[in-house]
């Protein structure tokens, strides 16, 4: 009797698009983010030179060599902190401007919005990234500084038309480019002295900064 011939089972169809990440691969992304947050905190508190990869790994609950799975060197990790900080700041600022657009704010209100958001970036929760950029730029390579400078330009670009409008209306008397530099210098220095446990709230800081830069219209 001839054996029955069965049709081979159909192979399962491959899903379209990129293959789904395994739990281990998904965990890699989470660990990378934790490394960045931990490194930013330690670089800000101790400085880049005084912080070792062993310090970062220990604070993140990892083995001492684990950071090198994600980053080639401590310098590469520092650059990643700065890059992540700027890209996050750009996205946050863009969202704030987009949400405010429906209210049709005037130039003074827009300046206040930009300043208040900038204080969030500098001083709010998880705000270690940008202070590291401000005070450790000498520790990255010239090529990396070029990349960060381009991101800073992208972040500061929305400020220019607001300052120009205020200048045209007479509320901002300084030349616009110099005003931008002076404003960012003053705002960024708050990362050195501000203590959220004491003194003014971020809203009060923003209100005072607006009065300092363009006066009080009332």
Give one DSSP letter per residue of 111-150, joined into a string.
HHHHHHHHHHHHHSTTTTHHHHHHHHGGGS-HHHHHHHHH
- Spell out the residues 6+ positions from residue 199 whose beta carbon is closer than 8 angstroms to its own: none
The helix, strand and coil proportions of the chain, stated in percent and rounded to the nearest 5, come to: 65, 0, 35
- Whether residue 24 is contained in a domain is answered as no
- Whether residue 46 is contained in a domain is answered as no
pLDDT at 120: 96
C-alpha count within 13 angstroms, C-beta hemisphere, residue 35: 27
- Whether residue 97 is contained in a domain is answered as yes
Reading the chain (218 residues) residue by residue, the pLDDT tens digits are: 333 333 334 444 544 544 443 333 334 557 888 999 999 999 999 999 999 989 999 998 888 777 778 888 999 999 999 999 999 999 999 999 999 998 899 999 999 999 999 999 999 988 899 999 999 999 999 999 999 999 999 999 999 999 999 999 999 999 999 999 999 999 999 999 998 888 789 999 999 999 999 998 75
pLDDT at 28: 55
- Whether residue 93 is contained in a domain is answered as yes
**Whole-number Cα distances in Å, 152 to 75, 158, 183, 185:** 20, 11, 14, 13
- Whether residue 104 is contained in a domain is answered as yes
Structural domain harbouring 96: 79-214
pTM above 0.85, yes or no: no
- Whether residue 71 is contained in a domain is answered as no
pLDDT at 115: 98
- Whether residue 119 is contained in a domain is answered as yes
pLDDT at 21: 39
Give the C-alpha separation, 52 to 42, whole Å. 9
Residue 170 is part of a domain; what is its CATH number?
1.10.357.10
Check: CB of residue 120 under 8 Å from CB of residue 167.
no
> Can you point out the beta strands (E) in 18-159?
none
């Amino acid at each position: 009797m001839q054996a029955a011939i069965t049709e081979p089972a159909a192979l399962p169809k491959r899903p379209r698009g990129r293959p789904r990440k395994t739990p281990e691969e998904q965990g890699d992304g989470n660990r990378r983010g934790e490394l960045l947050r931990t490194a930013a905190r330690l670089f800000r508190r101790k400085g880049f030179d005084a912080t070792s990869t062993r310090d970062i790994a220990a604070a993140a609950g990892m083995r001492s060599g684990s950071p090198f799975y994600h980053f080639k060197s401590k310098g590469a990790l520092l650059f990643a902190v700065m890059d992540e900080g700027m890209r996050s700041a750009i996205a946050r600022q863009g969202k704030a401007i987009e949400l405010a657009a429906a209210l049709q704010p005037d130039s003074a209100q827009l300046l206040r919005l930009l300043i208040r958001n900038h204080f969030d970036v500098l001083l709010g929760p998880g705000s270690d990234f940008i202070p590291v950029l401000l005070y450790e730029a000498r520790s990255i390579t010239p090529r990396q500084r070029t990349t960060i400078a381009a991101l800073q330009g992208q972040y500061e670009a929305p400020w220019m038309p607001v300052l120009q409008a205020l200048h045209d209306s007479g509320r901002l008397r300084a030349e616009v480019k110099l005003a931008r530099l002076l404003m960012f210098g003053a705002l960024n220095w708050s990362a050195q002295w501000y203590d959220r446990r004491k003194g003014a709230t971020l809203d009060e800081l923003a209100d005072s900064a607006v009065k300092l830069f363009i006066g009080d219209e009332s």
